[in-house]
Each structure stands twice: as structure tokens, then as C-alpha cells.
């Protein structure tokens, strides 16, 4: 930011007042709204990412790189993973755009990644007409399949909204598709993307922390608009939630 400062005393006071107002506004905005991380890869690099290997075969590296403002992985094989390293979350919204290289290509989003034995994948697999939820819980692997018919050679926007209770809502191209209740009780970890069967392109990754109001002050200054776990119609609705939550817990709401 470049600031032009005039040396007149009166003018300086007005500048100082303006800067103080802006600073306070930014502080309120930052404290009221959830953290969002966005990477469109237009800077030509994948800084902040761990670009990983084939899941279950760590000796097979992915062919990850950034090309033309997109993240690419096109090595033949299954489940090449990449995680964003800057934040670990529980309740969260994750979104990214995907395009697969061939009819057997697939990919999706990673949630709650701890290590190779603890994670959740949401996989779109157009070639078999399906949407999969895969979980690895301390090395025990489960798959849940849902029918979802989609063309394979177009771009897809996949979004998941996960809460701390393990429910995951899935949206594709902005449309709600289904909800799934996960098995795992370990609902905290890294988020990211993956693909397989020659992979394809990934773009416009975003990760948003979903928060719950801790007290009535969090509902003020349009803060009520930022919550999705649950969401609110207005400030009063948010305040009522905080008060009822305090009564349920046997505590006085602040």
C-alpha cells in the first residue's frame, strides 16, 4: 500500500483518523469472518503445498506441476495426493475445479488427512457413473458408492461442506448432490486434492474454516453472516442460538 501524506497539521489529523477507521474496520472484519485460503495457481507455483505420491505406494511419486495457471498431475496410477500444508481444520468448506484426461480419469477432495492411514476422500468418477466416499481409519479402509451420472470431458467444480460431527454435504457445479455421514471420529487434519488414471487438471482451490459463534459479540457487525455450522437468517437468530447453547450446556451465555 502507498500512502500520500501531506505535512499540514489539520490534514495529518484527517489522514490519521481515516487510517484508524480503516484499521478498526479490518480488525472487525477479520475477527468476525472465517478464514479462507484461495489458490488459483496463477503465480506459476504450488508454494504451500505438499505434492505427494501414489496413496499406498509412497515410492511412486506423482507428476505434479503448475502449467498455464493450473495444477497438473498426469502420471498413470491411482490416488496421487496433494495436501495444503498451511492449515489443519475440522469443520470446513473445500472446493476445487477438476478436469480429467480420459474416460477412466477421476479425482476429488481430501479431508482430515493425518497420515497414510487416516483420511477421508470424496471422489468423482464419471467413467463409472459414481461418487465415492473413501475412509481410512488406522489402516482399515472402507468405500461407500453413490450413483452420479456426469460427462467426463468437462470441468467440474466439486465442493464439500463438512461439520465437526462428520457429516459431509457434496455440491457439484454449484448444485447440491447428497450428504454422507462418515465413520471416522478423527475429524481434524489437512485438506487437499487427488486424482488418478492419468489424472488431469485442478484449479481454483479454496479452503474455508467453518466456525460457530462463541458469544453474542460474534454475531455483531454482520458476523452472523459468516457462520455455516449452523447458518443464521439475521443477527437476532445468531444471538438466540448462543443463548440457547449456553442454557443447554448449563452455562450463562456471554
Q: What is the pLDDT of residues 12-48, one digit of tens each?
A: 434 333 443 333 333 333 333 467 899 999 999 999 9
Give the number of C-alpha atoms closer than 13 A to the C-alpha of residue 132, restricted to the C-beta side: 21
Q: What is the pLDDT of residue 248?
A: 44
Are 154 and 217 found together in one domain?
no
Are 235 and 125 found together in one domain?
no
Residue 14 grid coordinates: 484527517
pLDDT, mean of residues 194-213:
92
Q: Does 2 reside within a domain?
A: no
Are 22 and 114 found together in one domain?
no
CB burial class (10 A; 0-12, 13-18, 19+) of residue 75?
A: middle
Supply the range of the domain harboring residue 15.
9-34+211-248
Q: What is the pLDDT of residue 246?
A: 57
Which one of 84-98, 142-156, 225-239 scores highest in mean pLDDT?
84-98
Q: Does 254 reside within a domain?
A: no
Q: What is the pLDDT of residue 102?
A: 86
Q: Does 4 reside within a domain?
A: no
Are 221 and 196 found together in one domain?
no
Q: Where are the alpha helices (DSSP H) in the chain?
A: 9-32, 235-248
Are 102 and 192 found together in one domain?
yes
Q: What is the pLDDT of residue 154?
A: 87
Burial annotation 28-67 (CB, 10 A radius, 16+ → b, else e)? eeeebbbeebebebeeeebeebebbbbbeeeeeebebebe
Output the average pLDDT for the chain.
Answer: 83
How many domains, in total, are found in the chain? 2
Are 82 and 194 found together in one domain?
yes
Q: What is the pLDDT of residue 221?
A: 83
Are 59 and 166 found together in one domain?
yes
pLDDT, mean of residues 209-220:
82
Which tops the pLDDT comparison, 9 or 59? 59
Confidence of residue 232 (pLDDT cuts 50, 70, 90): confident
Q: What is the pLDDT of residue 31?
A: 36
Residue 116 grid coordinates: 497414510
Q: Does 75 reside within a domain?
A: yes
Are 121 and 225 found together in one domain?
no
Q: Does 1 reside within a domain?
A: no
Amino acid at each position: 500500500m502507498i500512502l500520500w501524506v501531506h505535512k499540514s497539521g489539520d490534514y495529518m489529523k484527517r489522514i490519521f483518523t481515516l487510517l484508524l477507521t480503516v484499521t478498526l474496520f479490518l480488525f472487525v472484519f477479520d475477527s468476525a469472518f472465517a478464514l479462507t485460503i484461495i489458490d488459483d495457481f496463477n503465480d506459476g507455483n504450488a508454494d504451500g503445498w505438499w505434492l505427494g505420491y501414489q496413496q499406498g505406494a509412497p515410492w511412486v511419486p506423482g507428476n505434479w506441476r503448475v502449467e498455464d495457471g493450473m495444477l497438473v498431475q498426469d502420471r498413470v496410477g491411482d490416488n496421487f495426493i496433494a495436501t495444503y500444508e498451511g492449515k489443519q481444520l475440522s469443520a470446513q468448506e473445500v472446493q476445487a475445479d477438476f478436469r480429467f484426461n480420459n474416460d477412466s480419469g477421476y479425482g476429488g477432495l481430501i479431508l482430515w488427512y493425518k497420515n497414510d492411514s487416516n483420511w477421508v476422500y470424496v471422489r468423482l468418477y464419471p467413467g463409472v457413473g459414481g461418487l465415492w466416499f473413501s475412509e481410512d481409519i488406522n489402516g482399515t479402509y472402507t468405500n461407500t458408492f453413490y450413483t452420479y451420472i456426469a460427462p467426463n470431458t468437462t470441468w467440474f467444480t466439486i465442493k464439500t461442506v463438512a461439520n465437526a460431527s462428520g457429516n459431509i454435504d457434496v455440491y457439484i457445479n454449484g448444485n447440491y448432490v447428497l450428504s454422507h455421514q462418515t465413520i471416522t471420529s478423527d475429524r481434524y487434519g489437512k485438506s487437499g486434492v487427488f486424482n488418478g488414471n492419468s489424472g488431469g487438471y485442478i484449479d481454483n482451490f479454496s479452503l474455508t474454516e467453518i466456525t460457530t459463534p462463541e458469544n453474542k459479540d460474534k454475531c455483531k457487525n454482520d458476523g452472523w453472516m459468516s457462520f455455516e455450522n449452523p447458518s443464521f437468517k439475521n443477527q437476532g437468530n445468531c444471538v438466540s442460538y448462543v443463548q440457547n447453547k449456553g442454557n443447554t450446556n448449563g452455562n450463562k451465555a456471554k
